[in-house]
Structure formats: C-alpha cells, structure tokens
C-alpha cells in the first residue's frame, strides 16, 4: 500500500515532537514536513537529538503536498492555521482545543476568543475512538481530545452510559509535568517542581466543559455536571484521574462483579483501553497508547471510584491523534502505535 504523506504543524512542543517520533516509525505514513516558527531552518535533530535520524528540517510553513496534517499549535492559532488547509481538502487532526467543544459560546467563555468558523464545530468529530469510532472513520476534521478528558471520560463513560450513577461527578486528576508543555514557566522549573505536588486551576480548568460535553452525550438527565481539580505531580509523563460518583438507588446491586462486567463489556474489543483488576499505575503506560481503567465499588458510602490512567503525550495527545488518523484512512487501528510501554 502506498504511504500517505503527513505534516506536523508546530513540531517543537511536546505533542508535536511526540507526533514526529510516532509518525516517523509508522508503516503507512511518510512524514514529509514539520513546522515550527521559532526554530525554522534548524534540523529537527538539532532541537531534538533523539530524532536526528529523521534528517528533517523544520520549516516556517507547511509544505503543500500532504494528505493529512496534525496541528499541535496552541488554541486559536490552530484554527487559523488549519482552516485554509482543510478547505483545500487536507485531512486534519487538531491536537488543540479549537474544534472540541460543540457550543460556539464556550470559546469566549473558556478560551477568550470568538471561534472563527463556528459552522465547522458540528462537522468536526471529537476524536475519542472508544465513543466516536464510526464518525471518525468518515471525518475529515478530527478534534483530538484533551489529555485529562481522555482519562476521565474513559473512566466514567460506562457508568454514565448505563445510568448507574448520579450525574454529579468529581474528577481528581494528577498529571505529569510534560502536560504543561515546553514553554518555560516558574512552576515547571525543575527546582520548583521536583519533590512537589500542587493543585491548580481551582477556579475552573478548560478541560471541564470538554469532559461534561462528552459525558452528557451519554446521559439523558440533562443535569450532568463535573467538579474537576487537576494537580501536577513530579514525573514527566502520565495522568491518573480518580473519579467519584454516587450510585443511583437500586443500581449495581450485583456488586463489584456487576461493575466489572459493565466495564468489560463496554470496552470489549478495544485495542487500547483495558479494564484492569489491580490499581493501575501511570508507569504501566509510559510511551504507549494504552488507557487503563479500574472501577471500584464502595458499597459502604454508596460510591463508585473509577480510575483512568494514560500517558498524557501518547493516548492523551499524539498517539490518539495517530489512532484517529488510522481510523480516518482505513489503516489498522494500531498501526504505528502498538509499541509496548517502556518499563521501568
């Protein structure tokens, strides 16, 4: 089969460089162009020595002849850069948040800008294959999910879908530091972040409406709401989201066994999302596209605790983007992203 040509916009961030690593090794893809304005003209291997073998040069603008483009640009700018390409017929996977939310009104509220093409929000598909595989297969514009939402939605989806819990949900997430990106900040300065845990965005984090949107699609109450508190923990890669939900009266009377069955059935056949029997650890996913889901019944307090674990740069960003591309182009869904986790 002929390889498709792919490009990456903004290869110099962590999602971008992880895309380059994965796409370079993808059997059905030829990575032909990588952009990055500040590093334009440099070899990719100068900026990222682990990719020296690619021989690629970073350019200011994308080369024209690509079949698919991945945007790892920040929000707002991403839409601006993507739209002309999209209109020329290039398939797009957008790692930014610019096409994730369906309601145009949420962009000024959460991202402080008016969406430049609100008519595309309905057309764009939220790229969580476990929930939207069929639509992704037909899409030409996929909004790649956020890292926190990936872990939280996959942990909670079976509960919400089957109406087993009340819809007042709590998501307490702990993320590795790469999730904060490659831009220098004091909180991500090594001496400040090492040996340190901190909560942040207590007044509201942009991933909250995204979690709510996708879970609400599975719910018929119209009242689903999420209290989301993210934390940064001192590791490079990995997210663990610990989610709390109240069991609805009369539900889950079959106990932990019923709960396990609900999850096992929900994720049956999924190539990357696994329901596990022991508490999952972030390191069990390092460098891989896996999502580990672990539901626990707490009968005494009438709760389900559901844990979702991913590598934030792979299933939480670049790996899932490639999974979406695989589905869009009819490649085997695991092509290029089937590497086992690197442990320890």
We find the least distance from the C-beta atom of residue 159 to a second copy, in angstroms, to be 15
We find the least distance from the C-beta atom of residue 284 to a second copy, in angstroms, to be 5
Q: Which is nearer to a second copy, 22 or 153 (CB)?
A: 22
We find the least distance from the C-beta atom of residue 282 to a second copy, in angstroms, to be 5
Tell me whether the omega of the peptide bond preceding residue 344 falls within 30 degrees of 0, making it cis: yes
Q: Which is nearer to a second copy, 138 or 340 (CB)?
A: 340
R_g (Cα) of the chain, nearest Å? 20
State the angle between helix axes of 129-138 and 319-329 in degrees (0 to 180), rounded to the nearest 10: 40
Maximal CA-CA distance, the chain: 63
CB 130 within 8 A of CB 156: no
Tell me, yes or no, if 91 is annotated catalytic.
no
The catalytic residue among 91, 147, 243, 291 is: 147
Give the pair of three-digit tokens for residue 174.
């702990």
- List Cβ neighbours of 180 (8 Å cut-off, separation of 6 or more): 187, 188, 232
- On the 0-12 / 13-18 / 19+ scale of CB atoms within 10 A, 162 is middle
We find the least distance from the C-beta atom of residue 328 to a second copy, in angstroms, to be 24
Q: Which is nearer to a second copy, 25 or 103 (CB)?
A: 25
- List Cβ neighbours of 195 (8 Å cut-off, separation of 6 or more): 234
Q: Which is nearer to a second copy, 37 or 65 (CB)?
A: 37
Q: Give the active site residues.
A: 147
């Amino acid at each position: 089969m002929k390889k498709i040509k792919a490009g990456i916009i903004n290869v110099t961030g962590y999602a971008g460089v992880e895309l380059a690593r994965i796409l370079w090794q993808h059997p059905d893809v030829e990575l032909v162009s990588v952009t990055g304005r500040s590093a334009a003209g440099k070899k990719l291997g100068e900026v990222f020595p682990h990719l020296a073998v690619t021989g690629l040069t970073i350019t200011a603008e994308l080369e024209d002849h690509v079949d698919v483009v991945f945007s790892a640009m920040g929000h707002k700018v991403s839409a601006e850069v993507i739209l002309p390409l999209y209109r020329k017929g290039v398939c797009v996977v957008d790692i930014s948040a610019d096409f994730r939310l369906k309601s145009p009104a949420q962009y000024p509220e959460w991202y402080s800008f008016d969406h430049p093409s609100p008519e595309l929000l309905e057309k764009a598909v939220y790229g969580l294959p476990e929930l939207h595989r069929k639509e992704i297969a037909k899409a030409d514009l996929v909004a790649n999910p956020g890292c926190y939402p990936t872990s939280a939605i996959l942990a909670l989806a079976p509960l919400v879908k089957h109406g087993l819990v009340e819809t007042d949900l709590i998501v307490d997430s702990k993320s590795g530091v790469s999730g904060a990106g490659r831009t220098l900040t004091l909180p991500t300065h090594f001496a400040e972040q090492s040996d340190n845990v901190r909560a942040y965005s207590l007044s509201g984090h942009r991933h909250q409406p995204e979690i709510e949107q996708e879970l609400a699609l599975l719910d018929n109450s119209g009242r689903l709401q999420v209290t989301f508190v993210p934390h940064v923990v001192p590791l490079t890669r990995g997210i663990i989201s610990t989610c709390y939900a109240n069991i609805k009266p009369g539900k889950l009377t079959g106990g932990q066994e019923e709960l396990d069955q609900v999850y096992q059935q929900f994720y049956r056949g999924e190539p990357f999302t696994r329901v596990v029997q022991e508490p999952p650890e972030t390191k069990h996913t390092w460098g891989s596209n896996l999502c580990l889901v672990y539901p626990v019944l707490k009968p005494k307090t009438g709760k389900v605790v559901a844990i979702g674990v991913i590598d934030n740069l792979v299933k939480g960003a670049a790996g899932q983007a490639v999974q979406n591309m695989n589905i869009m182009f009819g490649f085997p869904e695991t092509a290029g992203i089937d590497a086992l986790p690197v442990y320890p």
